[in-house]
Chain A
Amino acid sequence: MNWQNLQTKLAGKGYIASSELAMATHIALELERPILLEGDAGVGKTQIAKTLADIHNTELIRLQCYEGLDASAAIYEWNYQRQLLSIRAMAERTGDSGNAIDDIETRIFSADYLMERPLLRAIQQKKPPVLLIDEIDRADEEFEAYLLEILSDFQVTIPEMGTITAKSKPIVVLTSNGTRDLSDALRRRCIYNFVPYPDRTTELAILRARCPAVEPALAAQIVSFVQSLRKEDLEKKPGIAETLDWAAALGGLGVNDITVDPVALKSSLVCLLKTEADQAAIPSEVAQRLAGRAG
């Protein structure tokens, strides 16, 4: 398989990838390296992981990062309630003989009592799953360090049990919104791609693929409007997800031409402008001017 093939396959599942992204994904898949995607929110970073899982017909395991995320929430945790119960059960069965203690201890720290969290689960699968580590920049630096062992050797060390090596290497997709710079150590282990806002043609293709019900003329208007809206001075620029939402909203409102009904246009803009300041920055007149240019 070469990268153009992958691009076509992605397109077949409704994901229009730029050639750079397709190449990066191709190399990451072939070399079995994680891929790190950076870019603004709503440009389709998470979606590619879902699409990859779809193409390979495999499970998508998702780890959402947040500040304070630690090993027990991301890798594994012991099932304490079960451990407690079985200690008591075993103690009653064997009586209070001391030589059973070692036995009990090995028993309760075995795989039966281990609760797998996303990262451990990802390396335990028989068929390589897609592991999506979402918004890695939200986790703290110590967590990046945990990740290094998993991402380079695909293994997890549990002090009580030893090292668990991957049964199959998962396809790892990391995403980052760039709120914080990631460490060089992590970057170097990954294939990198910066996902920008799509250009006109790409966005039109995406809209066609995802919302085939939208009329071609309206689709062109929508894309031009959103493209020029991104050039305005906004706090949060609308991503592709927003464009798709807006297209669906316009469809729901029965709008066929965005220049006709200024009231409907203004009210549907809630799909694109997600902060109060942005809504104030694009009053009805500006919206109409942009729509006029788009139409």
Chain B
Amino acid sequence: MAVTRFLTRAGIAERMSDFTRHLRAHGVRAGMPETETSLGALQLVDAGDPNDVRLALKAICASDVESFARFDELFAAYWLNAGKQRHDHTPTQSRSDQKNSLTNLSQKFSAPPADGSGSIDTPDNDNDGEAESSGEGKLIATQVTNRNATDMREFILPEDEARAAETARRIATAIRYRRSRRRKTARQGDGLDMRRIMRKSVATGGEPLHLLRRRRPDRPVHLVSILDVSGSMQLYARVFLSFVKGLVGNDQRTDAFLFHTSLMCVSDALRDNDTLRAVNRLSMMARGFGGGTKIGASLRTFNNQYASRMTGRKTVVIIMSDGYDTGEAHEVGDALARLKRRGCKIIWLNPLLGWKDYAPVAASMAAALPHVDCFAPCNTLASLAAIEGELERL
């Protein structure tokens, strides 16, 4: 294969940092340390042999299964392709779409400054323009279906809000703590804390007079709720939204997301103490409210952008959706499987499950079921309250 002839002259360090940037633009997590290590590694291998260099850089820059599988392609695109960047590189295409449409949303509707001032960076590769335009197209489609942006004020009634918040508080306490396996010093417990006993007994001439104990503490879990606000869910949106507000309002270890055709983080907006301002912020974010649904794509955005920060073993993800989807069904399954690998518990609340004779036959719902730890109805506040017991067992 021909080695790239670059248009501009640059030193090897500069070239290498450009390559790391190329990797980053295609979704591989690599940065300064990787550039440095790569430069060091070049001295250890035959830098004139493309195959050696590829193997060396692969060992350093790839850091998980996905980037490992894609690295060869990315390497070839940068170093072995006459300097042309690949324009048709697909794996991250759809992601950059969403990023762009999100950015468009926040820029177009001048999101409040607290909302990160539109700082979601657009990928700086050459397919920018392309992605931009398709993001735009999606946006127009949603706007046509919903000429009037739905006003959130209609969705939160005072009395419902109070009840939903109360239910949310009870559910949150039910799943708040998970027993840990590692022990920690405590006033009462099932094990002895030998280390501290020993310290105390020095003073008493080796007689362990004070018996200090350790036990397995309950450690708090992180709650993440993802709420479907598409057209088919409109009837339930009010209840759910106040429920989510209740969850988020309870404490800081909670995050909330809304999605229809794209995903947005609404934790900050819901945490706003000024109710009127919160509602304004929400309705600004929820343009396209009641449009189509892309569950798979939204969950994938969540996986890509937020999951690494928010989820781990001590996370419970609550998805509220009816499972009617305009995207690919297998995408939902894939996204949930990936989320599940992070070790969190997934609860799916489906309002339709409360109906008589309902069976989860919608393709996306069926694809999701194998990955879900708890599948429960939630068409009314009463049924929401009823799942409390079930959640305690998780």
Contact = CB atoms under 8 A, between A and B. Distances in A.
Interface residues of B, number: 42
A31 interface: yes
* Consensus secondary structure, chain A interface: helix
25 contacts: A2-B44, A2-B45, A3-B45, A24-B59, A26-B45, A27-B45, A31-B40, A31-B44, A68-B182, A78-B194, A87-B198, A87-B202, A88-B205, A104-B202, A108-B202, A140-B313, A180-B341, A180-B342, A181-B341, A187-B64, A190-B63, A191-B59, A192-B63, A192-B64, A193-B59
Contacts of A142: 182
B108 interface: no
| Chain A residues touching B, range | 35 or more
Contacts of B41: 27, 30-31
Interface string A218-253: 000000000000000000000000000000000000
A126 B308 CA distance: 39
Interface string A80-103: 100111011001000010000100
Contacts of A47: none
5 nearest A-B residue pairs (beta carbon): A68-B181, A87-B206, A88-B206, A24-B59, A23-B55
A140 B52 contact: no
B135 to A, nearest CB: 27
A178 B66 CA distance: 12
Contacts, number: 115
Contacts of B199: 105
Nearest to B184: A70
A68 B219 CA distance: 13
Interface string B197-213: 11101110110100000
B312 A70 contact: no
A58 interface: no
B195 A20 contact: no
A30 B44 contact: yes
B56 A188 contact: no
Contacts of A24: 55, 58-59
Among B29, B63, B312, max chain A CB count under 10 A is at: B63
Interface string A3-24: 1000000000000000110011
A188 B33 contact: yes
B341 A178 contact: yes
Contacts of A108: 198, 202
A276 interface: no
A1 B362 CA distance: 59
B7 interface: no
B63 A3 contact: no
